[in-house]
Amino acid sequence: MSFCVAIDGPAAAGKGTISKAVAAHFGFAHLDTGLLYRAVGAKVLLGMDPAMAASSLRPDDLAATDLRTPEVAQSASRVAVIPEVRAALVRFQQEFAAQDTGAVLDGRDIGTVICPDADVKLFVTASAEVRANRRFDELSAKGMAVTKAQVLADVKERDARDTDRAEAPLRPAKDAVLIDTSDLSIKDAVAAAIAAISKAQA
């Protein structure tokens, strides 16, 4: 019997880290749905039509090593507002969520649009400043020349685009469990997520 966990939240809130840990803990498959949009965004940067890039997406496209750059992130956010792109990727996500082994999907509209009937819905968030600092540290560690002010501006710009878009805006599902990681360690944030899922399984 399938069991679906939907985890949503803004960039750098920690939902990816939490999702991977939760999937490993329960033995569920994990899908970072943001990679779908990043993979499409990367193709668009190379000159491909967004709708065509989405409809031709293959699982191995998600293994590309250049999907975490700021340029690809911004391109992903831009293509995510295109209805044709979103429609092309919905089926991929819903089929993944329905597998018998259980699944964890993280993104921005999993609990509200992709899997509104998910067994557990979590909304992972943190302040823009905390998220920008995390992203700055991450990019700096990779040797990318960015400033904290620039990263904060990018985070706020992306937040505005994701929450204000007409198609599937970023927002918590009404029945989502909120986890604010601003002042939580990774260990505590993961523990909170596992507790919420265990409660639903009981």
pLDDT higher than 90, residue 129 = yes
pLDDT of residue 184: 96
Q: Residue 31 forms beta bridges with which residues?
A: 105
4-201 CATH pick, 3.30.70.100, 3.40.50.300, 3.40.50.150, 1.10.10.10: 3.40.50.300
The first and second tokens of residue 116, run together, are: 């509104």
Instruction: Using alpha carbons, list the distances in angstroms from residue 114 to 23, 47, 66, 120, 121.
Output: 18, 28, 26, 13, 12
Two structure tokens written together for 163: 């929450």
Q: Domain map of the chain by residue range?
A: 4-201
What phi-psi label fits residue 177: left (phi over 0), alpha (psi between -120 and 50 degrees) or beta?
beta
Query: How are beta strands 29-32 and 103-107 bridged, if at all?
Result: parallel
Mean pLDDT of 82-88: 91
51-89 core/surface letters (b: 16 or more CB in 10 A; e: else):
bebbeebeeebeeeeebebeebbbbbbbbbbbeebbebb
The total of other beta-carbon atoms located within 10 Å of residue 152's CB is: 17
Residue 35 φ/ψ, nearest 5 degrees: -65, -30
* Residue 167, pLDDT above cutoff 80: no
Say yes or no to pLDDT of 145 above 80.
Answer: yes
Residue 60, pLDDT > 90, answer no
Statement: residue 1 has pLDDT above 70:
no
Instruction: For residue 177, list its beta bridge partners.
Output: 122
H or E stretch at 170: none
Higher pLDDT, 3 or 57: 3
| Cβ contacts of 119 within 8 Å, gap of 6 or more | 3, 4, 5, 200, 201
CA 170/CA 159 separation, integer angstroms? 8
- Provide the whole-model pTM: 0.85
Residue 27 pLDDT level (bands cut at 50, 70, 90): very high
Mean pLDDT of 167-190: 94
Name the least confident of 90-99, 174-183, 187-196: 90-99
Query: pLDDT, tens digit, for every residue of 31-50?
Result: 999 899 999 999 999 999 99
